Structure 1
Amino acid sequence: MSNPQIENNFSYHAPKPGQPEIYEEIRNKARELAELIDEKCPKSRESSLAMTNLEQSVMWANAAVARN
């Protein structure tokens, strides 16, 4: 018997009406924060991790929109 969560998580989710605009809004807000981090934080391992985790946040936020 198939697990519905696995089916959902590993399937293509074509954008529904309105979703591309949500993805763009999420990316734009994240870009604002990325620019602030780049401007205000010293170049360091920590700022690199902040950027990496911000990218992950965008990915997971977009996945939440796509999957649900």
Structure 2
Amino acid sequence: MIADLANRFDFHPAMTPERRDAHERVRAICKHAAEQIDALVPDGREKACAVTHIEEAMFWANAGIARNNKENHS
């Protein structure tokens, strides 16, 4: 359990150009999706929830990249 907690809560810097690129791609994809939602959906709770969930997806995707020891993220 201690190793799992360390993996979940420790900082995981992007140690390779591939990981940095993967983080940047995830951010760009999620930003584009949020911009499209912003343009298409009227302001309100539903839009706010949709954008928040895209943000959460970005965080989880980047955590998956950061926490995974494999280097193949293409």
- Fold in common (TM above 0.5): yes
Give ranges in structure 2 of 5+ residues lacking alignment: 69-74
Whole-Å separation in 1 of the counterparts to 2:32 and 2:12: 27
Aligned to 2:4: 5
The residue correspondences of 1:26-45 to structure 2 (distance < 5 A) are 26-45=26-45
Instruction: Give unpaired runs (5+ residues) of structure 1.
Output: none
Matched, 1:67 2:67: yes
Please identify runs of 4+ aligned residues in structure 1 that moved more than 4 A.
none
3-state SS of 1:47 partner: helix
CA RMSD of aligned residues (A): 1.1
The count of residues paired between Structure 1 and Structure 2 equals: 67
Matched residues, percent identical? 33
The normalised TM-score by structure 2 is 0.84
Q: Secondary structure at the match of 1:14?
A: coil
**TM-score normalized by the length of structure 1:** 0.90
